[in-house]
Amino acid sequence: MNQYPPVTVEVEIERLLPGGVGLAHAEGLTLFVSLVAPGDIVRVQIDRLKGKVAFASVLEVIKPSPVRVEPPCPYFGRCGGCDFQQLNYEAQLQAKVEIIRDCLHRIANIADLPEIAIRPSPKQWQYRTRANWQFDQQTRHLGYFEAGSHRVCDVEVCAVLAPNLQSALEDLRAQIRNDSIPIAAKNVEVVAGDEGVSMAPSWAGFETKSVSRRIGDETYHFGADAFFQVNHELLVPLIQEATRNARGAFAMDLYCGVGLFTVPLARCFQRIVGVESNPTSARFAQLNLQNAQLESARIITARVAEWLNGQSLEFEAVDFLLLDPPRAGAENSVIKGILARCPGQISYVSCDPATLARDLKKLLAAGYFLDSVAAFDMFPQTHHVETVVRLAT
């Protein structure tokens, strides 16, 4: 064994880990390698060393894995947006299931996991109806951050953008080239609805306006300044799984956003409370409930932890509780607040298997059991995956 690792080394990628990196071993080191496929034999360069763990990047694919494909995007490897384009679609789906299983087993200490089925996306490309673009005022580049940096990768065509967002990107780029817009925004949120494109901040002729989208039997209003899921093609089955068999007198929807789950739940419960800290999202949630003529629901604009801990424990029994927190997961105080109310059923919707597993460990230790796990490929060409876990007492 070498005392110091070589600058380059040849390795075989064993599997993909949470975060989308490949696992390999060489020279007494555990290597994490980006943008690889399981079964690849590659020559890698060690970029960073931390004890016996090395972070590496590919210099050469010596023998490609059977599941490796040629990434179609010319920005692949430089743009930080997509990190699974080197995998065929079946391999992407399999890797995501294994990432979920790894997190639930290793972090949540769940020994016997149920079968995890993953729902593929009807569209593997041109599915994103929401994007966050970066603008470099000096270089006048518009696109996404390069991987691991704050340099802006100047993107002309994004292969995962919905067509109307791609058109908006092209319009902005044309105006930037013609110097016909003031240098204003550094970060642009953009979302597509049935009425066109909403952009925040309003920029270059695009307004931060309300748009809507029909999802199943419901219509949702939202805008660029309020979060809404990026892949509308999977929202009907996602909602069905998250609210499956939900009936009763009272329900809670925590981190409710614009009411994606609140609206259908309001049809199944005598009363429901949705809690959302973003005032714009909360206003859209209230609007969506009003338009659906659902008067049994109440939207609270507050941080979830502060609201839960500010309520009396004599609050009526909670039959069903749904939470859909941001990528960082639920705060400790939120988990404690949930457990204090002993909901009969819990539906946890998550876009990060690691923080999901961390929170599940606490809920399971308090006496809940795992009823089901379902995955949805909301983010093709990336390692990200949406998971719905159902818990019962």
Annotated active-site positions, please? 351
Helices of type H across the chain: 89-106, 163-177, 235-242, 262-266, 279-291, 304-310, 332-341, 353-365
- Placement of tokens 């690691």 in the chain: 354
Identify whether 201 is preceded by a cis peptide bond (ω within 30 of 0): yes
Strands 248-254 and 269-276: parallel
- Do the beta carbons of residue 16 and residue 98 sit within 8 Å? yes
Q: Say if residues 57 and 34 touch (Cβ distance below 8 Å).
A: yes
What's the start-to-end Cα distance of the chain, in Å?
52
Do residues 260 and 235 touch, judged by C-beta distance below 8 A?
yes
Give the orientation angle of helix 89-106 with respect to helix 353-365, to 10 degrees: 30
Q: Are 33 and 58 in contact (CB under 8 A)?
A: yes
Report d(CA 386, CA 135) in Å as an integer. Answer: 28
Query: Nearest Cα to 15, choosing from 122, 123, 94?
Result: 94
For residue 268, the one-letter residue type is C
CA 65 to CA 67: how far, in whole Å?
A: 5
Whether residue 47 contacts residue 33, with contact meaning beta carbons closer than 8 Å, is answered with no
Buried (b) or exposed (e) across 15-37, using 16+ Cβ within 10 A?
ebbbebbbbbebbebebbbbbbb
Please state the φ and ψ torsions of residue 362, each to the nearest 5 degrees: -70, -40
